[in-house]
Structure 1
Amino acid sequence: MPIGSWGQISTWVAETDDKGKPTKHKSQARFRDHDGRLRPVSAYGKTRTAAERALLKKLQDRANTSRSGELTAMHKINHLLDLWEKRFEALIVDGKRSPTSLDTYRRVLKNHIRPAVGELRIGEATTPRIDTVLTKIKTTAGASTAKTSRAVISGAMKLAVRYGAITVNPVREADTIEAPTKNPPRALTGDEVRLLRTSLANDERAVEADLPDLTAFMLGTGVRIGEALAVLWHQVDLEAGTVQITHTIARIKTEGLIRKATKSNAGERLLHLPDWTVAMLRTRHATGIHLDEPIFADTRRGYRDPSNTRRALRTALSPIGSTARHDLGTSLKLLRRQTGMTRKQVADHLTWPQTRIELIETGRIKVDLQMITTLVAAYGVQLEHHHPLLAQLHDATQPAESDKLAWIRSHALRKTVATTLDQAGHTARQIADQLGQAKVSLTQDVYMGRQAANPAAAQALEDAFDPISADNTVSRQP
């Protein structure tokens, strides 16, 4: 018998009452265990049928347990994905993978991979079929989600190869996923940094969210926003002007906010602080602190959620552009309320992010004709026939000073630090160490803004290929 299978089931009366009527039946079969040995497995029931059903359930459970270390081409991919998840969980326990990565993978598994291939047999997962699935995911969810899906399916199929279910990973030959070229790294200029800090300092909501000092700390260190929120006061040495970066804050679906180790060993680092950053920290320190509390705590002196902090920063960097935008947003809010729709209902109807509706209604986003036409159509209004709204839209589309900040996200601060150090002559390795990145190539490709020109290159070419200098050299030859 193959491992995990059983022989013929036998059933007999195990007990009777005083009148000889059967009250208990026993079913038994021989089961071939994972070590190859045959063992008897028994189950009991009041009736013959009940005993056999109990035994069958017991045998099936035992078979699934014995198969945890093996796979066949007939197993469903859902079973393979379960094994892959368990293996990833073990790697997290060993500190080799991040729990936030597993959260990301589980979302992709639930929303895309399992619905598409979960009920297929492992042997049915051919390269053409996987290629079709990935293409569909790219079309419906985008290239980034498709790349993540490809990585998960490939990892699972690699596991199937190691377990002997298949001989070749079918994802290996699937078409690569090409994504649109990303915008080149963009760093803030000196004027933009000054405008940013002034805007945050003058925004009551930004001050309430403690964004001015947090932004200053990130500009003075180049740390990730989660790393900044994880720094405790005892990790700061104001006399030496240093800070230890050892952890980051992350939200895990089943655990909530946790303070976990940095992404890699390179993430653990000692950074020297600029004097203006030290001065800011001294000011905060003077208000009274506890050494075991985070520098940038929430209202309960606990850890802040990085996602909520990013959202607050996006809102602060999209200030009310002008009175005209504010007036237009008020009119649009009134139209929405007249229809009885909530922001979420409008967003779902238009397949927009809900935050876009909020930013429009508060005057914190640059609007255009197409955007507002689409929005008011959801309210049953034809924009070309609503002349007061058209007039407000005309005024609201005029440029505003705040538009210069709308593109900035928290990662732009890291790029600004990297580019500033690059311009100051620091090596790529030194900049990678400051940012906590193990791979210098990532720092160069993603975080360091390209230089507009290299004056030294022009001088070198001048000296090497100047035709006048070459003629003089020739004429001086005997």
Structure 2
Amino acid sequence: MARPPLPIGTWGNIRTEKLGPNRYCARARFRDYDGKTRDVEATGTTGPAATRALKEKMRDRATPNDDEITRDTHVSTLANLWIEEITAEERVAPQTINKYETSLRTAILPALGNLRIREAGVGRLDKFLREVATDRPSAAKNAKVVLGQMFALAVRRGALTTNPVRETGRLRKPRRTVRALETEHLEGVRSAIRQWQQPTPGKPGPRHTGDLADIVDLMLATGARIGEILAGRWEDADLGTEQPTVTICGTIVYVKGKGFFRQEWTKSDAGYRTVVLPRFAVGMLLARKLNAADNPHDAIFASRRGTWLSPQNVRRQWRQARADTGLEWVTPHTFRKTVATLIDKEADTDSAAAQLGHGSKEITKKHYIVKPALAPDSSHILEQLGASPTTTSP
């Protein structure tokens, strides 16, 4: 009967041989991770030292192959190879690759880049992710996505048998209270923008345009993301019908080396939508079209040079406008939450989700709608828990 093969990653009897003064060799048969059994040896100044060296060598052994990724490959090298692969495949959007590279540059490589793949075990990766999550939960989440895909590449290339990132613990998700604008807040927003747009005597530079006020109005009229608003073209707006509409069909993105440009699709399939405009937005757009200068992109909001406006610049302008107004908590995404909360209150969650371009109303409900402070009226049900009326005798 044939002897059963060694289990993968294990070795047989260790044999020690003296080679000379203070020089010993330890040998064993080791079954590699590709299923083949090979002779492995190590030397030391004594027999026990040679045995220890051999055991360490087999513990950290990588399967012999012609691939450029092995267990001894540095994490920084693995990161570069992974970025090259996903870039060549063209299945990941360029702006997403930029986000991955930022995570690598700012978080992952400074902490883990000099490690070899075999040294990046579950415990070490888990500790790293939790340390990042202490102050930057979103950065930790991005880092976990990047590391998971990197080490998946190492598994596919035979350098690892399992992906250690999968065994790390779940990251803490900070509880965030959804906050939307009330009527008094809206007036404060518009007042802050009007004040910011006023010319300042003696201040150098071009005068502020009316773009910020119009952008905020269109965000409140549609619930669209800031990138979707800035990607709007006049051909996407139909203002001459009984129900004027605008079609959300693109977004402004940034790619390193290319700058800001209009992406011809939205964040998700559900994001491609046509929304009916309220009267205040129709009036604003008609007035804007009357005075708009031509630009090569047919953009509703274009820079003085006729280029697409960047979301970062608009966010910076809003931060300047809201300074010292008590509105520091209000971001462009707050306008989106305000739209969702109002539609949910006056109509339903399905309508709010459709307006925002969400594929699932659960996302809208969890992240965009302010929870009501008043519970549903169940007083008639709870009446059953009251004390029975006492009967008085005549």
Q: Residues 451 and 127 (structure 1 numbering): CA distance in 2 closer, same or farther, change over 3 Å?
A: same
Cα deviation, residue 207, structure 1: 5.3
CA distance in 2: counterparts of 1:76 and 1:204, whole angstroms: 53
Aligned to 2:254: 251
Question: Is 2:286 aligned against 1:279?
Answer: no
Q: 2:273 aligns with which of 269, 274, 279?
A: 269
Aligned residues: 313
Task: Check the 8 A contact 2:72/2:117 in 1, yes or no.
Answer: yes
Q: After superposition, where does 1:193-342 map in structure 2 within 5 Å?
A: 193-204=186-197, 208=209, 210-240=211-241, 241-260=244-263, 261-288=265-292, 290=294, 292-318=297-323
* One-letter amino acid matched to 1:306: P
Query: How far apart are residue 127 of structure 1 and its match?
Result: 0.8
Corresponding residue to 2:381 among 464, 469, 477: 464
Q: 5+ residue gaps in structure 2?
A: 1-65, 199-206
1:259-278 CA deviation, whole Å, 9 max, x = no partner?
11211111111111001110
One-letter code of the match for 2:137? A
Match of 1:159 among 153, 156, 166: 153
1:242 CA drift (Å): 0.6
Contact map agreement 1:128 1:174 (CA 8 A) in 2: yes
Say if 1:77 and 1:117, in contact at 8 Å, map to a contact too: yes
Task: Please state how far the C-alpha of 1:194 moved relative to its aligned partner.
Answer: 2.4
CA distance change for structure 1 residues 117 and 468 in 2, over 3 Å: closer, same or farther?
A: closer
- Inter-partner Cα distance in structure 1 for 2:164 and 2:384: 59
Q: Of 360, 373, 381, which residue of structure 2 is paired with 1:439?
A: 360
Distance 2:143 2:291 in 1: 49
Supply the RMSD in Å over aligned alpha carbons: 2.5
Match of 1:88 in 2: 86
* 3-state DSSP of counterpart to 2:261: strand
Distance 2:110 2:183 in 1: 49
Conserved 8 A contact 2:67-2:157: no
Q: What is the rounded CA distance, in whole Å, between the counterparts of 1:306 and 1:288 in structure 2?
A: 20
Structure 1 position 134, deviation (Å): 2.4
Structure number with higher helix proportion? 1
CA distance in 2, matches of 1:469, 1:112: 59
1:111: Cα distance to partner?
2.5
Task: Quote how far apart the aligned CAs of 1:287 are.
Answer: 1.7
CA distance in 1, matches of 2:118, 2:291: 65
Q: Identity rate of aligned residues, in percent?
A: 34
Contact 2:133-2:172 within 8 A present in 1 as well: no
Aligned counterpart in structure 1 of residue 104 of structure 2, from 97, 104, 109: 109
Q: CA deviation at 1:90?
A: 4.0
Corresponding position of 2:67: 67
8 Å CA contact retained: 1:293, 1:302: no
Counterpart check, 1:186 vs 2:179: yes
Question: CA offsets, 1:69-94, max 9 Å, x none?
Answer: xx332333223212321233245x34
The match for 1:147 among 118, 124, 141 is: 141
Q: What is the rounded CA distance, in whole Å, between the counterparts of 2:373 and 2:286 in structure 1?
A: 38
With structure 1 as the length reference, what TM-score do the two structures score? 0.61
Q: CA deviation at 1:463?
A: 3.1
Name the CA distance, whole Å, in 1 between partners of 2:181 and 2:122. Answer: 45
Which whole-Å CA distance do the structure 2 matches of 1:82 and 1:288 have between them? 46
Q: How does 1:115-130 map to 2 (within 5 A)?
A: 115-130=110-125
Residues 469/136 of structure 1: CA separation in 2 closer, same or farther (3 Å cut): closer
Instruction: Give the Å deviation of 1:153.
Output: 0.8
Letter aligned with residue 166 of structure 1: L
Give the distance between the partners of 1:271 and 1:86, measured in 2 at CA: 40
Task: Tell me the CA shift for residue 468 of structure 1.
Answer: 10
Partners of 1:186 and 1:316 in 2: CA distance: 20
User: How much does 1:165 deviate?
Assistant: 1.7
- Equivalent position of 2:62 in the other structure: none
Match of 1:412 in 2: 334
> How far did residue 119 of structure 1 move?
2.9
- The 2-side partners of 1:123 and 1:134 are apart by 18
1:200/1:207 contact within 8 Å kept = no
Distance 1:130 1:199 in 2: 46
Equivalent AA in structure 2 for residue 253 of structure 1 = K
Is structure 2 residue 376 aligned with structure 1 residue 452? no
Counterpart of 1:133 (choices 128, 134, 138) is 128
Do the aligned residues in 2 keep the contact of 1:293 with 1:301 (CA within 8 Å)? Answer: no
Measure the CA separation in 2 of the matches of 1:463 and 1:76: 67
Relative distance call for 1:150 and 1:470 in structure 2 (3 A) is same
Shift in CA distance, 441/83, structure 1 to aligned 2, threshold 3 Å: farther
Once the two structures are TM-superposed, the CA of residue 164 in structure 1 deviates from its matched residue by 2.2
Deviation of the 1:135 alpha carbon: 3.5
The amino acid across from 2:278 in the alignment is P
Residues 113 and 469 of structure 1: CA distance in aligned 2, closer, same or farther (over 3 Å) = closer
Letter in 2 for 1:168: T
Q: SS of the counterpart of 1:239?
A: coil
After TM superposition, the runs of 4+ consecutive aligned structure 1 residues lying more than 6 A away are 468-472
Aligned mates of 2:128, 2:380 — CA distance in 1: 58
Please tell me whether the aligned partners of residues 126 and 170 of structure 1 are also in contact (alpha carbons under 8 angstroms).
yes
- Structure 1 residues without counterparts, runs of 5 or longer: 1-65, 319-363, 365-401
- Name the counterpart of 1:79: 77
Q: Which moved more, 1:407-416 or 1:161-170?
A: 161-170
